[in-house]
Amino acid sequence: MGGIVIAQDRAEEANALEPMNIQRILCPTNLSPESDEALRYAIALSRAYSAELILLHCQLTGAGVAPLKSYDTSLQAIESALARHAGANGLQALQWRSLVVYCEDVGDTIASEAARHSIDLIVMRSRRRPHRAALLGSTAESVSRTAPCPVLVMHADERDWVTEKDTKIELKRVLVAYDFSDHSELALNYALSLAQEYQSELHILHVLPPSSIDESELSWYPLGRENAYHKTARRLQRAIPSEAHLWCEIKHTVREGYAYREILHYAESNEIDLICLGAHGAGFGMLALFGSNVDRVLRQAPCPVLVSRPLKPAPLNIEEVKESVAAVAI
């Protein structure tokens, strides 16, 4: 979220909730114990949505990189890692396949492979980075900027909601950071779908810019008008489809301050299991010296973060199109 602001008034009649349609999940792994932890989430989601799981291993090429593993060795390592995190059910009834790609840029390769295989969700691990190193960004941040689909990012030291024994999803509280933009509307739709699927509490948070509220939240309405807090609170309530209240508890919150700080503080104090954010297009990480709100939340969140991006169709293969046209002509 390159900055949470109040958008211009627009029609806020909520559309019918569209459930998440996940048919293919991409899980990048560098075959380290740290990155392999993402496999547990990818397996759980693959089973929950009967989706195909594609495991991607990128081998860097060029000067100064470690010697390359053989293709077969990489495939065997991927299957072994998958089996270790598959839980009590093992690989039974799990539809999966492996990809090994030789490349020079891991982030670009993950995004391009996601587009090529029409991926619906990327699930990946990210390391906590030292403050100085964070200036350079991470692979997860790079993928979140350019991916053609939503990206679920987790770290090692955060709240967990997939059980190790049977890879069962136990999602209790979902937070969506909502700024009335189309990007946050997409994040809200994903959050609503997940809350409905797992009977989770849904927390919806809007952050007003610093010093935008002249009165306390508990004060009476000013004569003849509403202040920024009251207007925003009413808009948040209208953003939620009325039927959503039938199957989950919904909490609306308006705060004032810096967006990323308020999101992180709220997630920590309310024991949130998943934060849903809308990414405002490519390049959002360049909006500030230390990154945008999305970058900062990704680095410091106490739980996994779902960066919601609109699905993009896979690029057309010109040769396949020509063959199809020729076949029709015949």
pLDDT in tens, 260-286: 999 999 999 999 999 999 876 444 433
Using alpha carbons, select from 282, 313, 310 the residue that is nearest to residue 116: 313
Average pLDDT of span 28-54 = 90
Residue 108 pLDDT grade (very low, low, confident, very high; cuts 50, 70, 90)? very high
Average pLDDT of span 145-150 = 92
* Residue 293 host element (H or E): helix 293-300
Which spans in 95-250 are helix H?
106-116, 139-146, 182-198, 228-239
Q: Is the pLDDT confidence value at 240 over 70? A: yes
Q: How far apart are CA 135 and CA 148, in angstroms?
A: 24
Higher-pLDDT residue of 35, 250:
250
Q: What is the reported pLDDT for 60?
A: 84
Tokens of 20: 């998440």
Q: What is the reported pLDDT for 195?
A: 92
Domains and CATH numbers, the chain: 24-308 (3.40.50.12370)
pTM: 0.81
Q: What is the pLDDT of residues 1-40, one digit of tens each?
A: 444 333 333 334 334 456 678 999 999 998 888 888 899 9
Neighbours of 187 (CB within 10 A): 27
Q: What is the reported pLDDT for 226?
A: 64
Which spans in 24-168 are helix H?
33-36, 38-48, 71-84, 106-116, 139-146
Rg (CA), the chain: 21
Residue 295 pLDDT grade (very low, low, confident, very high; cuts 50, 70, 90)? confident
With beta carbons less than 8 A apart as the criterion, state whether 4 and 262 touch: no
Higher-pLDDT residue of 248, 187:
187
Q: How far apart are CA 2 and CA 5, in angstroms?
A: 9
Q: Please work out, in degrees rounded to the nearest 5, the angle formed at the alpha carbon of residue 72 by the alpha carbons of 70 and 78.
A: 105
Q: What is the reported pLDDT for 326?
A: 45
Tokens of 61: 């090429």
Q: Is the pLDDT confidence value at 315 over 70? A: no
Q: What is the reported pLDDT for 188?
A: 93
Q: How far apart are CA 148 and CA 21, in angstroms?
A: 15
Q: Is 285 helix (H, G, I), strand (E, B) or coil?
A: helix
Tell me the backbone φ, ψ of residue 306, rounded to 5 degrees: -105, 110
Q: How far apart are CA 98 and CA 53, in angstroms?
A: 9
Q: What is the pLDDT of residues 126-141, one digit of tens each?
A: 876 654 444 445 888 8
* Residue 322 host element (H or E): helix 318-329
**Sign of dihedral through CA atoms 109, 33, 167, 86?**
positive
Q: What is the reported pLDDT for 286?
A: 35
Average pLDDT of span 240-249 = 84
How do 52-60 and 201-208 pair as beta strands?
unpaired
Q: What is the reported pLDDT for 81?
A: 87
Q: How far apart are CA 36 and CA 32, in angstroms?
A: 6
Q: What percent of the chain has pLDDT over 70?
A: 75
What one-character DSSP code corresponds to residue 173? E
